[in-house]
Amino acid sequence: MEGAAVLGRLNWHVAEVADVWPETDRVKTLALDVEGWPGHRAGQHVDVRLTADDGYQAQRSYSIASPDGGPRVELTVERIDDGEVSPYLTGDAHAGDRFELRGPVGGYFVWDPDPGGPVLLVGGGSGVVPLMAMVRQRTANHDEVPTKLLYSARSWEDVIYRDELGRYGKRGDGLEVVFTLTREQPPDWTGFGRRVDRELLSQVAPPDLSLTLVCGPTPFVEAVAEALVGLGHEPSRIKTERFGPTGG
């Protein structure tokens, strides 16, 4: 698989949109049929390239949302209003449309089914996408490693994969899902209502963590990693992936 990832990065594939559905008001998932797809590991990403009629090209990277072994590659994309790629993917793309896709890319920030102990996944906003691929891969593989997902969103309406995550959290297979809503909480909310900081992590993170994977905006990722180290967790066991303003 690692070899496939390296080779995949060198080649552009034709991706055809098979289906599109909303996750939130600003986020949609696209299911793609990809010619020559070599397979991937949960946590990897792809480069998407659009070409206009006049030859102008725009390219952005997006995390893969689906586990390996499924019939299609899924991308979950948040609309950036002034972006060049995300407005098309979230607003104009329909079944039958085609664009170029290169990947899978990356081999560091990926799911490990046997890390030697409990795993903590921490996602901020759309940073939950590669972590969701890991949750789905864990379920598909029937992995037994104790896993906790801490997901920070602005409000309940902004939670991506809300219903699916709720179902995963009730399976009783060693996966626990914890939400924190930083700006607005429903009237009957019983979860956290604050940013992810050292105090919150001290309540959520297992003391015997073997691996933590953190994804989200750069300030979020840096704050979480620093807090975990401050709590005594080994830096080498904290893997991060971050994103910032890129034009979408």
Residue corresponding to tokens 């949109």 = 17
Domains and CATH numbers, the chain: 2-105 (2.40.30.10), 119-243 (3.40.50.80)
- State residue 6's pLDDT score: 44
Q: What is the mean pLDDT of the chain?
A: 93
The dihedral built from the CA positions of residue 47, 50, 56 and 60, taken in this order, carries a sign that is negative
Element (H, E) at 215: strand 211-217
With beta carbons less than 8 A apart as the criterion, state whether 33 and 20 touch. Answer: no
- Per residue in 57-104, pLDDT tens? 999 999 999 999 988 999 999 999 999 999 999 999 999 999 999 999
- Per residue in 103-137, pLDDT tens? 999 999 999 999 999 999 999 999 999 999 999 99
**Strand ranges inside 79-139, DSSP E:** 98-105, 119-124
- State residue 70's pLDDT score: 86
Provide the residue type at 205 as one letter.
A
pTM here? 0.93
With beta carbons less than 8 A apart as the criterion, state whether 32 and 72 touch. Answer: yes
- Rounded to 5 degrees, what are φ and ψ at 122? -125, 120
Closest CA to 111 of 82, 96, 131, 84: 131
